Structure 1
Amino acid sequence: MYFEKIEEFSNLEMSYVSDLSRGFISRNKNILKNLELNKFTQFIYEKCVYGTPIFKLGSGGNKILILSGIHGNELPPQIANVILLNQLLEKKLNHTLYFIPFACPKSTMNNERIFNSMDLNRSAHINNSLSNLIIRAVESLGIDFVGDFHSTAYNSNPGIESVFSSKSPTPESYLIANHISRNVGSEVLSYDFAGSSYKGAVEDVCNLKNIPAITCEVLSPFSDVGEGAVLRSFSQMNSFLSYFGI
């Protein structure tokens, strides 16, 4: 995967996971009204018109991915991811951070959970699905840890603020989840073995490939931004990074 240096943002490099997922993020009014439209945020929107962008900051240390938007109608983590990227843009980092704020711009544009008739968090094991292409990018880049950030509505699954993890085959998944829980209070939901409940979650596929991963959920109505949900997701992301001393 080739990363291009972005001259107007001196610490930033970017590439694309896929060009099949392109969409106009700014057509999602709930995204637009909850993000400051500065130069960098506008840049991210523009890049999403061509597919799923992946951004890189820093070098050395662990390679860590912050992922959001696997479900396009789960808005708070996508907003929080862009805010985090904005805040870290000029920081000196001791690790290599990768960001996919909008995993599927088309789904986010349309406030849809699925893409090409697939739930991307049930199809990461299916060859050439969009979430499978994200897994391939994780492998090709040698990413060491993955945080996948979602939101969940009341009376849905899981329906509570939580951190999913598994104890095997990557026990560090469980350690990271407990670190986040202690920091921000999200409930740990853990499986003894990755993928034992259902197949195809990004977190589970990563863990089965011995890449420690967790899934964080905050409460918010689907296709909307619940009060405080962006801040809660942002706190989960910061707690995930703090596990690595960032």
Structure 2
Amino acid sequence: MDFRKIEGFENLEMCYISNFSRGFISRNKNLLERLTWTPLTQFILEKSVYGTPIFKLGDGGNKILVLSGIHGNELPPQIANVKLLNEFINNDLNHTLYFIPFASPKSTMYNERTFNSMDLNRSSHINNSLSNLIIKAIVEEGIDFVGDFHSTSYNSNPGFESIFSSKSPSPESFLIANYISQDVGSDMISFDYAGSSYKGAVEDVCNLKKIPAITGEVLCPFGNVVGGSVEKSLSQMKSFLSYFGI
């Protein structure tokens, strides 16, 4: 992947996953009003106008991805991911961190679950879908671990704060999820084999490729942000990273 250093942000590199997913995230007022405005936040939103950006910090150790926005109307993890990148921008890191705060800027702009009527968490196994391009980038870059962060509404699936994982063929998926569950109190949802319940989730496709991955869910109505939901998603992300000593 063609990562390039970003002037004005020490140690930050960026490239694009796709340029057909572009969107004006600032049009999503429910999200915009809850972002902490910094030069880096402004930069992230500006770059999302041209597609799906992936950001890279550090060099060495494990390569770890924090992903959010697979469903554009799940706002807390997208806000949390921007906060996380802002927090880590000046840190000395013992691993290489990757951030995709907005997987589908267009979906986030319109506050929609799908991208061009496609559920990206049911289609990452479909060649050249947007989520499949994220999978291809994970493989190309040699990313070792993936945390995919979502929010779930009442009376939806799963409908409660949780961590998804599977025990096979990537057993460390289960170990990571168990660590986060014990650390922050999120319920565990574990499958014996990745993709056995449904196909196309980013987590499952990664695990099937033997790239250990988990999915974090926090409780929040779709398209909105309720008190504590951003903080809870951020705590899941930080717990995911703390598993690796970050």
Is the TM-score greater than 0.5?
yes
Deviations 1:118-175 (A, max 9, x none): 1000000000000000000000000000000000001110001000000000000000
Q: 2:216 aligned with 1:231, yes or no?
A: no
SS in 1 for 2:236: helix
SS in 1 for 2:233: helix
In the alignment of these two chains, the number of paired residues is: 246
Unaligned runs of 5+ in 1: none
Provide, for residues 11-61 of structure 1, a one-character-per-residue CA deviation record: whole Å limited to 9, x for no partner. Answer: 100000000000001100011110122111000000000000000000100
For residues 214 and 37 of structure 2, the distance between their equivalents in structure 1, rounded to whole angstroms, comes to: 30
Q: Kindly provide the CA deviation profile for residues 158-206 of structure 1, in whole angstroms up to 9, marking residues without a partner as x.
A: 0010000000000000000000000000000000000000000000000
AA partner of residue 55 (structure 2)? F
Separation (CA, whole Å) in 2 of partners of 1:214 and 1:54? 19
Q: Which residue of 1 aligns with 2:111?
A: 111
CA distance in 2, matches of 1:10, 1:101: 19
Instruction: State whether structure 2 residue 201 is matched by structure 1 residue 216.
Output: no
Regions of 4+ moved over 2 Å: none
User: What is the distance in 2 between the residues matched to 1:161 and 1:176?
Assistant: 16
Equivalent position of 2:165 in the other structure: 165
Note the 1:51-66 alignment, pairs <5 A: 51-66=51-66
Are residue 177 (structure 1) and residue 177 (structure 2) matched? yes
SS of residue paired to 1:126:
coil
Q: CA deviation at 1:221?
A: 0.4
TM (norm. structure 1) is 1.00
Counterpart amino acid of residue 7 in structure 1: E
Amino acid of the structure 2 residue aligned with 1:12: L
1:156 aligned partner = 156
Alignment of 1:65-214 (within 5 A): 65-214=65-214
CA shift digits 1:57-92 (9 cap, x unpaired): 001000000000000000000000000000000000
Q: Distance in 2 between matches of 1:19 and 1:34?
A: 26
Distance, in Å, in 2 between the alignment partners of 1:86 and 1:98 is: 13
Amino acid at match of 1:198: Y
RMSD: 0.4
Give the Cα separation in 2 of the matches to 1:10 and 1:160.
38
